[in-house]
Structure 1
Amino acid sequence: MEAEDPLGPLDPDFAANFTRDQRRPPCQLYLVSPLGVGGDFPDRLRRALDAGPVAAFQFRVKDIDQHAAARLAEPLQAICAAHEVAFIVNDSVSLAKRLGADGVHLGQEDGDPRAAREVLGPDVQIGVTCHDSRHLAMGAGEAGVDYVAFGAFFPTTTKAVEHRPDPSILSWWSALFELPSVAIGGITPGNARPLVDAGADFLAMSGSLWGGDEAAAVRAFAEVLGGR
């Protein structure tokens, strides 16, 4: 588990006085795949993307070799391309390179974003998980990433949670930096609004989407975002 953020705690009055900058682009949806993307999942992804505006889709699979991952990814990548949705690969720079993906999302243990940039080139989006750390986020920004991700904001069964940031970190980030932020972790249509108001540029969701009717979930999220 990482040490406490060396920048220390945020001033609680900061978030209380924060007003979302309406000059920033509207908050958008960032879908994260379940671990199982075989079977009828391509049809489910197509239904989700048909249901409302989505900015990005992250391909996240574990414990399979790159050849198998590529076979699973290719039809999903084609669906995203047809919907003009960015296709982001989780963790693997080499798989992102192999697929010609639009981007890669790196955890803190997945390598240096500068090295990823050298491999993938200037036009590929690179995002980094920064948990609840302003220090990590600032370091990622200095390394030239395209977005930073904070979370988990709410309980989630998608992955083990060690970090629970307050939404005020989104307010702090958006007030000081133009670089987009992604909020992740247990986000549902019912709890998303405070994250949007706090300054999130993207809302990432997985379990709340694929655990039920994915098209209905996208429509419900779109309604929340439409009320900004």
Structure 2
Amino acid sequence: MTDCQLYLISPLDVSGPFPDRLARALDAAPVAAFQFRVKGLDEHEAARLAEPLQAICSARDVAFIVNDSISLAKRLGADGVHLGQGDGVVADARERLGREAQIGVTCHASRDLAMEAGEAGADYVAFGAFFPSTTKQTEHVAELETLRWWQRIMELPCVAIGGITPENCAPLVEAGADFIAVSHSVWGGDEAAAVKAFGKAIGLA
């Protein structure tokens, strides 16, 4: 067994059959969290799309995390919010979402940003990209040594993200990633088979 867990990130299009796909993915192997990540929608439409997905996660005890929007996370009563470097500050998210909310922060490849997030009260930090990503343009390349360094000095969980597949994730797990965050490698094909493969690769199944 491993301490590493799987963190699923939604594709940008979560309409149509996506709720059924999410249920299949979550039933395939243990998943710790699901991040709702859509762009360019008003909050009413985003909330409408999020609600059935949130119910699917809740029924399976999977944390439902909203990307970027503190206000949408509050509106939905989500389990937490994930903040990019330009999406708000941890203190504001904590004040609006409460002590129980899980607040994550994108730190790219920066040890300094991660330390600042930890000091600000984040619940986890995310490093990446570790591999070329098809989900978003890779501006920052993180190294395995960053994960090793973080595990040596900090107790705060860290997430590895960016181009991760069942075939390339083992070094990230060995270096100390508490979670591996994946999107295209699951939704780009058979989601149940991909989640099963990840579960096997990181020792969950």
- 1:148-201 deviations in Å (ceiling 9; x for gaps): 000010001111111001111000001111100000000000000000000000
SS in 2 for 1:34: coil
Report the AA paired with residue 80 of structure 1.
Answer: C
Does residue 124 of the first structure (1) align with residue 101 of the second (2)?
Answer: yes
Map 1:135-214 to 2 at 5 A: 135-214=112-191
- 1:84-143 deviations in Å (ceiling 9; x for gaps): 000000000000000000010000000111111111110000000000000000000000
Q: Provide TM-score, normalisation by structure 1.
A: 0.88
2:5 aligned residue (8, 28, 35): 28
Indicate the RMSD between aligned Cα atoms, in angstroms: 1.3
Mind listing any 5+ residue stretches in structure 2 that lack a counterpart? none
Mind listing any 5+ residue stretches in structure 1 that lack a counterpart? 1-21
Report the AA paired with residue 178 of structure 1.
Answer: E
**Structure 1 range deviating more: 155-164 or 218-227:** 218-227
Match of 1:39 in 2: 16
SS in 1 for 2:35: strand
Report the AA paired with residue 75 of structure 1.
Answer: P
SS in 2 for 1:150: strand
Give the superposition deviation at 1:54: 0.2
**Runs of 4+ with deviation above 4 angstroms:** none
Of the two, which has the highest radius of gyration?
A: 1
2:53 aligned residue (76, 84, 96): 76
1:101 aligned residue (73, 78, 82): 78
Report the AA paired with residue 145 of structure 2.
Answer: S
Report the AA paired with residue 223 of structure 1.
Answer: K
Report the AA paired with residue 96 of structure 2.
Answer: V
How many residue pairs align between the two structures?
205
Alpha-carbon distance in structure 2 between the residues aligned to 1:194 and 1:99: 36
Does residue 65 of the first structure (1) align with residue 17 of the second (2)?
Answer: no
Alpha-carbon distance in structure 1 between the residues aligned to 2:97 and 2:118: 17
**Structure 1 range deviating more: 52-61 or 113-122:** 113-122
Alpha-carbon distance in structure 2 between the residues aligned to 1:65 and 1:206: 22
Match of 1:7 in 2: none
Alpha-carbon distance in structure 2 between the residues aligned to 1:225 and 1:195: 9
